[in-house]
Amino acid sequence: MLRHQPPTAIYLPLSHVRQGIGRSNLDPSQFQTALEQYLGVRACFLASSGRAALYLLLQSLSTSRPARSVVLLPAYTCPALVKVILDAGLRPCPIDISPHTLAFDMEQLLSHLNEQVLAVICVHPFGIPQAIEEVTALAYAAGAVVIEDAAQAMGARWRGKPVGTLGDFGLFSLGPGKPLSVGGGGVLCTNDEKQAQVLEQVWRQLPPATGRQSVMALARLLLLRAATHPRGWWLAARAGVQRWGDNPNSWGYAIRRLSPLQTRVGAVQLSELDEINRVRRENGRQLAARLQALDFVHVPEAADTAEPIYLRLPVVADTAERREQLYQLLWSAKLGAGRLYRSTLPELFPQLDGPPCPGAAQVARCLLTLPTHHYVTPEDINRIYACLSENGPPKFKLVIG
């Protein structure tokens, strides 16, 4: 059977599914408690998606601080964040990032922090922790709160502490291809006792997932598991699965609780998260070390105080043309290269007010991601390096993707 390494993959042994289904007496709050202990936070709240959790948080913050209506966020990130901010009746303002670190352009961030800013969303992309102390210092000086988007980074650490726990609020995704996936879902956490009490009231009003929704979530999880297996990805890619996130129709979300079945599978998955992240981290580090020898690509830097998980390994090519050549070459070799977020937020939402974002534009044009998941073998790492290190412009044929 044809094999093609996917850009990212769901780690889900079928034994975890069987355990989750079999633990029908497990209270959903036990997964919530386990997450609180794992992250070391005062409170976690579970929702049907990370987008739903962010929407509920922004609504709560906006109600308590109606004079503030602006949310600052990186100009290169998941476009669904903009939809959520707009849905909450707030104004997104994209801020440029550095192509070398994927971190905020701090001067631009500072220049846009004022009394109208409600929140700053600091993203930890691809499981790489970003320095957050300077962001929080600037945000707090302007009276804004800091929301860490750790959707791709559950298990990553900054100065020994889990990302998502260093600002006022942390957001995690349990969706497809995330560090811990249950087929969809989101987690909001906080260490602020007062905010936790307010959010507890909000979450009590959420409608529960129906039995049908719970079964559909499990079916989606199993389908995604098969699709992100090397034996299934070649077919999934030809069906256009990897382009679904670019479609605005995929940016929607339902406001409800995470289903009990998903919480049970999540509880089983959480117990092995550190080990599967160790595999991702090691694969990412080995790839990054090999790529240092190439002068036409660079891996965005991770600080010495960061412990990344490398959900994918981001690589920035020297030109957009080079990125496309390398992408086609890797796909021809059946190695799971990805081109995530091929447009900046200002390009996707020209109605937004914001500063020029040349760094984000460079990342959108030139960024390639390499697979680090548990299906990646030492042979795959050697093959990826061999593909990228070929002398001269790579020759390729057009592939679907």
| CATH number of residue 308's parent domain | 3.90.1150.10
What pLDDT digit, counting tens, does each position of 281-300 carry? 999 999 999 999 999 999 99
183 and 42, same structural domain?
yes
Residue 234, in any domain of the structure: no
Q: Lowest mean pLDDT of 34-38, 63-67, 179-183, 286-290, name the range.
A: 179-183
Query: Residue 392: is its pLDDT beyond 80?
Result: no
- Quote the pLDDT of residue 235: 78
Of 204, 233, 255, the last residue of a domain is 204
| Cα-based distances in Å from 16 to 11, 21, 35, 42 | 10, 9, 17, 27
Helix residue ranges, H only, 142-254 = 193-204, 211-227, 230-238
For residue 286, report the phi and psi dihedrals to the nearest 5 degrees. -65, -45
**Mean residue pLDDT across the chain:** 90
- Quote the pLDDT of residue 391: 45
What kind and span of H or E run contains 45?
strand 43-47
- Quote the pLDDT of residue 217: 80
188 and 281, same structural domain?
no
Long-range CB contact pairs, 376-382, < 8 A, 24+: 376/5, 376/283, 378/286, 380/5, 380/335, 381/283, 381/286, 381/287, 381/290
- Quote the pLDDT of residue 401: 42
Is the CB of residue 290 less than 8 Å from the CB of residue 83?
no
288 and 378, same structural domain?
yes
- Angle at 203 (CA atoms; ends 198, 209), nearest 5 degrees: 175
Residue 161, in any domain of the structure: yes
Residue 362, in any domain of the structure: yes
24 and 171, same structural domain?
yes
The string of DSSP letters for 229-264 reads SHHHHHHHHHTTGGGGGGSGGGG----SPPPHHHHH
47 and 154, same structural domain?
yes
237 pLDDT band (50/70/90 cuts)? confident
Query: Residue 390: is its pLDDT beyond 80?
Result: no
Pairing of β 312-317 and β 367-371: antiparallel
Residue 339, in any domain of the structure: yes
Residue 243, in any domain of the structure: no
Neighbours of 147 (CB within 10 A): 28
Is the CB of residue 94 less than 8 Å from the CB of residue 360?
yes
Q: In terms of pLDDT, which residue wins out, 351 or 188?
A: 188
Cα(373)–Cα(10) distance, integer angstroms: 8
CATH of residue 136's domain is 3.40.640.10
- Amino acid found at 133: E
Q: Which of 177, 132, 178, 189 is nearest to 157 (CA)?
A: 132
Q: In terms of pLDDT, which residue wins out, 238 or 191?
A: 191
SS3 (DSSP) at 97: strand
Question: CB under 8 Å to 199, separation ≥6 — which residues?
Answer: 43, 45, 56, 57, 60, 188, 190
300 and 185, same structural domain?
no
Cα(401)–Cα(305) distance, integer angstroms: 36
Q: 142: number of CA atoms within 13 Å, CB side?
A: 24
Residue 93, in any domain of the structure: yes
Of 178, 204, 230, the last residue of a domain is 204
187 and 282, same structural domain?
no
396 pLDDT band (50/70/90 cuts)? very low
- Quote the pLDDT of residue 210: 83
56 and 163, same structural domain?
yes
Q: Which domain holds residue 107?
A: 14-204
179 and 289, same structural domain?
no
Percentage of residues in the chain having pLDDT higher than 70: 93
What pLDDT digit, counting tens, does each position of 10-32 carry? 888 888 778 777 766 667 789 99
180 and 45, same structural domain?
yes
- Quote the pLDDT of residue 213: 80
Of 167, 184, 204, the last residue of a domain is 204
Cα(77)–Cα(62) distance, integer angstroms: 22
What is the number of domains present in the chain?
A: 2
Is the CB of residue 122 less than 8 Å from the CB of residue 71?
no
148 and 53, same structural domain?
yes
Q: In terms of pLDDT, which residue wins out, 16 or 188?
A: 188
Is the CB of residue 128 less than 8 Å from the CB of residue 314?
yes
- Quote the pLDDT of residue 356: 93
CA end-to-end span of the chain, whole Å? 20
Residue 28, in any domain of the structure: yes
Residue 129, in any domain of the structure: yes
- Quote the pLDDT of residue 234: 76
- Angle at 216 (CA atoms; ends 211, 222), nearest 5 degrees: 130
313 and 164, same structural domain?
no
